[in-house]
């Protein structure tokens, strides 16, 4: 194997290759034949053991395109659908994702529950986030670039309707309000696809994050609480993310503090300590909050340490914690 690193942002030739292979973000790791034919790709860095396992799999011929060929022959095979879905999501090929899921459902019309529904919801949530991130970017840049044509925008019918209404030509304040409402409407349809009953912990956690990201704070709090009750051995990072989102939205702070303490018991690092300290502060445990935040500032480095030190000062002065969710200011 020959390793080659491309930096499209700094080199025009690298940019051409980036576009040729329809890469969608950084990092994109491609496995190619000597002739430049793609065998497989990944959209994130991997630990050494996972990377070596991926190389062994690809060398053995079990590539994304080999899996895709097998799914073509057997569209109702769920294990194959899961594997192909993962590869299509890395490519952000949403039309193909929806087509493959539809083919699976057509081949298995009587399945109840339908195992493909979580894959469909995951795909819609990802496409929704991608489309509304793009809409916000266009809005902030005063629609200077031409809006690309979106194939199969199933996750954002309200956004597509707004664009048909010539959204960029509306008054600026109306644009912002309409975008927020459209984003919320489309997100609610996706969340309503699946009942909260009998969801796996992973799906529950994803739904909670999606609900939070789109302004459904009470719904997110309920899902985080159910997730915390059912998940086994959750990583500190997930616990901290749940507690932080509840802190930002100021919902169910008592439950958020319990979750934050669970994260802190697993990992007392600066970022986890900061989440717990802020929750303790806003729930009235000021002395303990200052003690933990001071520890976070002492263990962090650089700008992060300075930021935590500023939080300590704010706590000592009795100032409010003003952090709020990003959705509250979308799309500005």
CB 212 within 8 A of CB 247: no
Could you write out the DSSP letters of every residue in 257-304? HHHHHHHHHH---HHHHHHHHHHHHHTT-HHHHHHHHHHHHHH--HHH
Q: How far is it, in rounded angstroms, from Cα 52 to Cα 151?
A: 35
233 DSSP assignment? S
Domain covering 201-319: architecture: Alpha Horseshoe (1.25)
For 106-132, write each residue's pLDDT tens digit: 999 999 889 999 999 999 999 999 999
Residues of the chain where predicted confidence (pLDDT) is lower than 50: none
pLDDT for residue 151 = 86
User: What residues have CB less than 8 Å from 108, skipping those under 6 apart?
Assistant: 76, 78, 114
For 236-294, write each residue's pLDDT tens digit: 999 999 999 999 999 999 999 999 999 999 999 999 999 999 999 999 999 999 999 99
**Using alpha carbons only, what angle is made at residue 90 by residues 84 and 96, rounded to the nearest 5 degrees?**
55
- Which segments of the chain belong to CATH 1.25.40.10? 201-319
Residue whose tokens read 């998940």: 231
Burial code (b: 16+ CB inside 10 Å, e: under 16) for 220-239 equals bbbbbbbbbeebeebebebb
pLDDT for residue 246 = 98
pLDDT for residue 36 = 87
pLDDT for residue 79 = 97
CB 39 within 8 A of CB 31: yes
38 DSSP assignment? E
pLDDT for residue 286 = 97
């Amino acid at each position: 194997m020959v390793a080659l690193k491309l930096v499209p942002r700094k080199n025009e030739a690298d940019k051409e290759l980036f576009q040729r292979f329809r890469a969608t973000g950084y990092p994109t790791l491609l496995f190619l034949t000597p002739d430049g034919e793609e065998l497989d790709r990944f959209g994130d860095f991997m630990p050494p053991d996972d990377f070596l396992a991926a190389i062994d799999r690809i060398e053995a011929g079990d590539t994304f395109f080999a899996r895709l060929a097998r799914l073509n022959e057997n569209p109702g095979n769920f294990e194959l659908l899961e594997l192909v879905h993962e590869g299509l999501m890395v490519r952000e090929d949403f039309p193909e994702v929806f087509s493959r899921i539809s083919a699976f459902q057509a081949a298995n019309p009587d399945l109840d529950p339908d195992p493909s529904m979580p894959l469909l919801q995951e795909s819609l949530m990802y496409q929704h986030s991608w489309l509304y991130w793009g809409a916000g970017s266009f809005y902030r840049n005063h629609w200077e670039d031409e809006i690309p044509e979106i194939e199969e925008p199933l996750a954002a019918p309200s956004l597509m309707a707004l664009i048909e209404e010539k959204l960029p030509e509306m008054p600026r304040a109306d644009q912002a309000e309409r975008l927020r409402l459209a984003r919320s409407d489309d997100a609610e349809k996706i969340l309503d696809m699946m009942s909260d009953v009998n969801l796996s912990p992973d799906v529950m956690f994803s739904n909670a994050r999606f609900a939070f990201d789109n302004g459904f704070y009470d719904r997110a709090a309920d899902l985080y609480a159910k997730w915390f009750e059912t998940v086994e051995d959750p990583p500190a990072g997930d616990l901290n993310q749940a507690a932080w989102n509840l802190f930002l939205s100021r919902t169910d702070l008592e439950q958020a503090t319990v979750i934050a303490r669970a994260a802190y018991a697993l990992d007392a690092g600066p970022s986890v300590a900061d989440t717990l300290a802020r929750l303790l502060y806003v729930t009235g445990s000021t002395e303990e909050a200052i003690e933990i935040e001071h520890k976070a500032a002492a263990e962090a480095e650089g700008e992060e340490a300075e930021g935590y030190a500023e939080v300590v000062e704010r706590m000592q002065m009795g100032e409010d914690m003003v952090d709020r969710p990003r959705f509250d200011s979308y799309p500005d």
